[in-house]
Amino acid sequence: MNLLSRSFDHAKHAHMRVLRYFVVAVLAGTAALALPAPAHAAPSWTSPLIAPGVSHTFTWNNANPLNIAYEVGLNPQLATPEAPCEFEIMRVWYVQQYQGLERQLKVTIKNIGAIFCYTVVWLREMPTIAPANWYTPVLKPGEISTHTWNNAGLTSSHIPGLVPMGATSSAPCQLEVISRWDVLHYDEAGGVEREFKFKVANVGAISCMGAILLGSSSINLPWIANMMAPGEVGTFARNNANPLDKVYAIGIKPSHTQSGFSCEFGVQRRWYLQRINLDGTPEREFWFTVKNVGNLLCGPNILLT
Q: Are 180 and 223 contained in the same domain?
A: no
Q: Are 59 and 185 contained in the same domain?
A: no
Does 221 score more than 80 pLDDT? no
Contact (CB, 8 A) for 174 and 164: yes
Q: Are 88 and 219 contained in the same domain?
A: yes
Per-residue pLDDT, averaged over 269-273, amounts to 99
Does 86 score more than 60 pLDDT? yes
- Percentage of the chain surpassing pLDDT 90? 76
Does 299 score more than 90 pLDDT? yes
How many domains are there within the chain?
Answer: 2
Per-residue pLDDT, averaged over 125-152, amounts to 96
- Which pLDDT belongs to residue 188? 66
- Which pLDDT belongs to residue 258? 73
At residue 124, the 3 state secondary structure works out as strand
Q: Are 116 and 235 contained in the same domain?
A: yes
- Percentage of the chain surpassing pLDDT 70? 85
> Of 229 and 19, which is predicted with more confidence?
229
Q: Are 258 and 119 contained in the same domain?
A: yes
Per-residue pLDDT, averaged over 103-118, amounts to 99
Q: Are 251 and 157 contained in the same domain?
A: no
Long-range contacts of 29-36 (CB under 8 A, 24+ apart): 29/53, 29/54, 29/55, 29/110, 30/55, 30/56, 30/57, 30/108, 31/55, 31/56, 31/57, 32/56, 32/57, 33/57, 33/58, 33/59, 34/58, 34/59, 34/61, 35/59, 35/60, 35/61, 36/61
Q: Are 64 and 200 contained in the same domain?
A: no
Judge whether 11 lies within some domain: yes
Q: Are 280 and 156 contained in the same domain?
A: no
CA–CA separation, 116 and 206 (whole Å)? 37
- Which pLDDT belongs to residue 255? 87
Q: Which value, to the nearest 10 degrees, does the dihedral of the CA atoms of residues 233, 235, 236, 239 take? A: 170
Q: Which of 214, 246, 266 is the last residue before a domain boundary?
A: 214
Residue type, 41: A
Judge whether 105 lies within some domain: yes
At residue 92, the 3 state secondary structure works out as strand
Dihedral sign, Cα of residue 94, residue 99, residue 102, residue 105: negative
Judge whether 101 lies within some domain: yes
Judge whether 32 lies within some domain: yes
Per-residue pLDDT, averaged over 253-267, amounts to 85
Q: Are 22 and 62 contained in the same domain?
A: yes
Model confidence over 35-44: pLDDT tens digits?
Answer: 333 333 348 9
Whole-number average pLDDT of the chain = 86
> Of 32 and 148, which is predicted with more confidence?
148
Q: Are 150 and 270 contained in the same domain?
A: no
> Of 4 and 104, which is predicted with more confidence?
104
Q: Are 92 and 15 contained in the same domain?
A: yes
Task: Flag the least confident range among 155-159, 184-188, 211-215, 281-285.
Answer: 184-188
Model confidence over 169-217: pLDDT tens digits?
Answer: 999 999 999 999 999 987 666 678 999 999 999 999 999 999 999 999 9
Judge whether 91 lies within some domain: yes
Q: Which of 196, 214, 232 is the last residue before a domain boundary?
A: 214
Per-residue pLDDT, averaged over 235-261, amounts to 90
Judge whether 139 lies within some domain: no
Whole-structure pTM value: 0.85
Per-residue pLDDT, averaged over 85-105, amounts to 96
- Which pLDDT belongs to residue 34? 37
Give me the domain span that covers residue 207.
144-214
Judge whether 290 lies within some domain: yes
- Which pLDDT belongs to residue 274? 99
Task: Flag the least confident range among 19-33, 63-77, 120-134.
Answer: 19-33
Q: Are 278 and 182 contained in the same domain?
A: no
Judge whether 133 lies within some domain: no
Q: Which of 160, 187, 214 is the last residue before a domain boundary?
A: 214
